[in-house]
């Protein structure tokens, strides 16, 4: 697939047409990942791209659609995924890397799965805002540190550097973006990379 419209009319070197690629999500406003970049720029671009993918795939849903467990027997929902990712952002960047004393999100000792097990009174719009806020704090933490800066995560036996943490988050989002794709398709049939 060609990113540059000026090249779109030229024949692909592979011989494939756009029909040979995965469908594209309409209204895709995700930030473009640079093809040539330094390490920090590349890492943060990939993480922000995946965050933007979650945002894009949740757009236009009613609270009921977001809450639906659209891929049985899985019990996941898009609402639960947003709550989970907000918790993961806080857990890794604030609670583990900077060791901030902030409370857990969507977790209690009696119900440790409050992220995926969305309570009946949970507000999808508010939870999206919570997730966006956690992403913003995480971006600030990454910007304030060098990739070589280290921390000892809670309950771990060794230090990790910020580079490891950003890569860890990229893998977390990559895995869950696959879930998000399936969950959205199950809600309204919409597909696209």
Q: What is the mean pLDDT of the chain?
A: 92
**Where do the domains of the chain lie?**
35-188
Residue 24 has pLDDT above 90, yes or no: no
| Beta bridge mates, 151 | 160
Measured between alpha carbons, how far apart are the two ends of the chain, in Å?
A: 12
Could you report the per-residue pLDDT of 165-191, keeping only the tens digit for each? 999 999 999 999 999 999 999 999 999
Dump pLDDT digits (tens) for 50-101. 999 999 999 999 999 999 999 999 999 999 999 999 999 999 999 999 999 9
* 145's tokens: 């540190």
Q: Above pLDDT 90, what percent of the chain?
A: 80
54 neighbors 177 (Cβ within 8 angstroms): yes
In the predicted model, is pLDDT for residue 10 greater than 80?
no
Q: Do residues 40 and 149 touch, judged by C-beta distance below 8 A?
A: no
Q: What is the mean pLDDT of residues 139-162?
A: 96
Which pLDDT value is given to residue 2? 52
Q: Is there a contact between 28 and 52 (Cβ–Cβ < 8 Å)?
A: no
pLDDT score for 45: 98
* Per-residue model confidence (pLDDT) at position 4: 60
| Predicted TM-score (pTM) of this structure | 0.89
Q: How far apart are CA 55 and CA 136, in angstroms?
A: 13
Task: Tell me which of 3.80.30.20, 1.20.120.450, 3.90.1150.10, 1.10.1660.10 is the CATH number of domain 35-188.
Answer: 1.20.120.450
């Amino acid at each position: 697939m060609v990113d540059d419209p000026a090249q779109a009319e030229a024949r692909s070197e592979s011989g494939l047409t756009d029909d040979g690629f995965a469908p594209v999500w309409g209204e895709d406003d995700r930030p473009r990942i640079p093809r040539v970049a330094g390490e920090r720029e590349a890492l943060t671009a990939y993480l922000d791209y995946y965050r933007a993918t979650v945002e894009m795939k949740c757009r236009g849903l009613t609270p009921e659609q977001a809450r639906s467990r659209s891929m049985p027997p899985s019990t996941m929902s898009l609402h639960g995924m947003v709550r989970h990712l907000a918790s993961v952002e806080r857990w890794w960047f604030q609670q583990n890397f900077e060791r901030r004393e902030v409370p857990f999100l969507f977790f209690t000792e009696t119900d440790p799965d409050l992220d995926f097990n969305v309570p009946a009174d949970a507000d999808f719009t508010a939870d999206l805002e919570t997730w966006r806020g956690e992403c913003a704090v995480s971006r600030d933490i990454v910007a304030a540190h060098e990739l070589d800066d280290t921390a000892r995560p809670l309950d771990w036996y060794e230090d990790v550097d910020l580079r490891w943490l950003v890569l860890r988050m990229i893998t977390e989002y990559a895995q869950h973006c696959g879930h998000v794709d399936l969950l959205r398709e199950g809600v309204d049939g919409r597909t696209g990379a």
